[in-house]
């Protein structure tokens, strides 16, 4: 069965600090990978996705993620965070297992201090 | 192009009542997914439907919960005889067929008194 692990449940950073959120998944086949963000009081929005091709994916708002197949990882990065990045971040995976249901990690709450 | 719409946004029910949550997918999307988000937890997959078919309901509780996506009209998540533990945010997402991106609605926050 697929599963997704996000290593950090809460992260606190100061503005301009660099960010890396870990995400590992377990599934042996071909997967599609996503990072979603949920700003306070809002619904989930897609940050970036990986289906195939260049394993370094660039998303909105300066975020990027790198797919490392050998490590089953898809970590999210941003070189310099802003206060407005305060949100909850979800890593997600789907695969063709007779359907394409998406499995989400438990989420990482990021708080950026101004 | 309207996004995924869910209503109501907030729903309060007393224990034992029924809750009906509605989801209208994005225009052109034929696949709908329901997720539940409990406080301090991530999203848990519940069910995946396409028009008139349930594709995967492995995340649905065996009792009291049901979902449908009729040929016409929105997808409905129905919870019978609600209990306090059903209090959560329920999110719907839609996509095109296949491994596409899922687009999420604003969610319905269910509170069971």
> Which residues, including other chains, have CB under 8 Å from residue A97's CB and lie 6 or more apart?
A2, A29
pLDDT bucket at A98, cuts 50 / 70 / 90: low
Residues B29, B1, A58, B104, CA torsion sign: negative
pLDDT surpassing 70 at residue A99: no
Residues of chain B with pLDDT under 70: 1-2, 99
How far B99 CA lies from chain A's nearest CA (Å)? 6
pLDDT at B39: 74
A104/B103 CB distance under 8 A: no
pLDDT at B21: 98
pLDDT bucket at A40, cuts 50 / 70 / 90: confident
pLDDT at A28: 75
Widest pairwise Cα distance in chain B: 39
pLDDT surpassing 80 at residue A114: yes
Chain A residues at the B interface, defined by Cβ less than 8 Å, are 6, 32, 34, 36, 42-46, 49, 51, 90, 94-96, 98-107
Angle among Cα B21, B43, B7 to the nearest 5 degrees reads 20
pLDDT at B33: 93
CB B79 within 8 A of CB A16: no
A101/B48 CB distance under 8 A: yes
pLDDT at B36: 95
């Amino acid at each position: 069965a697929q599963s997704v692990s996000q290593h950090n449940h809460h992260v606190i950073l100061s503005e301009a600090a660099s960010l890396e959120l870990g995400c590992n998944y377990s599934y042996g086949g071909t997967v599609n990978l996503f990072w979603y963000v949920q700003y306070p009081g809002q619904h989930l929005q897609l940050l970036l996705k990986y289906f195939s091709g260049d394993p370094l994916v660039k998303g909105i708002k300066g975020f990027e993620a790198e797919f490392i197949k050998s490590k089953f990882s898809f970590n999210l990065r941003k070189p310099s965070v802003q206060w407005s990045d305060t949100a909850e971040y979800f890593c997600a995976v789907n695969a063709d297992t007779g359907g394409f249901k998406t499995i989400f990690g438990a989420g990482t709450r990021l708080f950026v201090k101004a | 192009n309207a996004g995924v719409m869910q209503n109501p946004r907030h729903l309060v029910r007393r224990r034992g009542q029924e809750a009906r949550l509605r989801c209208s997918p994005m225009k052109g999307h034929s696949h709908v997914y329901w997720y539940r988000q409990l406080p301090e937890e991530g999203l848990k997959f519940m069910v995946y439907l396409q028009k008139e078919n349930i594709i995967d309901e492995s995340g649905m509780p065996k009792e009291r919960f049901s979902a449908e996506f009729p040929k016409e009209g929105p997808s409905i998540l129905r919870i019978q005889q609600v209990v306090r533990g059903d209090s959560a945010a329920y999110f719907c997402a839609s996509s095109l067929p296949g491994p596409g991106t899922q687009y999420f609605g604003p969610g319905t926050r269910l509170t069971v008194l």
